[in-house]
A and B are shown apart, each in its own frame.
Chain A
Amino acid sequence: GDSVTQMEGPVTLSEEAFLTINCTYTATGYPSLFWYVQYPGEGLQLLLKATKADDKGSNKGFEATYRKETTSFHLEKGSVQVSDSAVYFCALLSGGYNKLIFGAGTRLAVHP
């Protein structure tokens, strides 16, 4: 079945460091791909998405490119801030079903 694999956390960075969180997926057809962010004590917020191959989603300085050839959707940010500390979830929505399949989540901690 469809699945999403994320790099394990926690990821600990200093402020202004470069961030990469790896995400790969397995799916039949052509899924849409998403990154959601969950701040402490809150629900999930959509961070960015891409609906077809080579699309780049971007928001708040975060970017991810839909790579069909490597079945990946890695999240990147050039310069992280303390306020980016959160758990990040990669997810896919497969074409035939209205189900979001989530990765396990990656906790990011950014220190001043």
Chain B
Amino acid sequence: DAGVIQSPRHEVTEMGQEVTLRCKPISGHNSLFWYRQTMMRGLELLIYFNNNVPIDDSGMPEDRFSAKMPNASFSTLKIQPSEPRDSAVYFCASSLRSPGLAKETQYFGPGTRLLVL
């Protein structure tokens, strides 16, 4: 299995620009998660989807952030407009959630390192 795929791996942009991060979950997984990692705040869950539907977006910092999952094999996290404080590593993770499967394991992608100047 190819694992969770994220692109780009690195992104450098200027303040005010739109940034789009992409994620392809593991085939067959039905839950997808976006996390942000910073030195100050550690790992934070931003949003998660189950069967392509956003279930909990309480971690999304503000309206500049939006996430979509148009199908089971693709998700985007968009920041518009970007600000320097958005600089972080953004991880996507996926898991298989089913009624008979207790406590499913999340598998992480390699992350996108975002730097907003």
A contacts, CB < 8 Å to B: 31-32, 34, 36, 42-46, 49, 51, 89, 93, 95, 97-100, 102-105
Bound CA span A99–B97, Å: 12
CB of B69 to closest CB in A, whole Å: 14
The reply on B102 being an interface residue by CB < 8 A is yes
Q: Are B42 and A104 in contact (CB under 8 A)?
A: yes
Interface size class of B (residues with CB under 8 A): 20 to 34
The reply on B88 being an interface residue by CB < 8 A is no
Closest B residue by C-beta to A104: B42
B contacts, CB < 8 Å to A: 4, 31, 33, 42-43, 45, 48, 50, 55-56, 91, 93, 95, 97, 102-111
Residues of A within 8 Å of B106, CB to CB, are 46, 93, 100
Residues of A within 8 Å of B105, CB to CB, are 34, 46, 49
Beyond A42-B110, A43-B91, whether A95 also contacts B45 by CB under 8 A is no
Bound CA span A92–B95, Å: 15
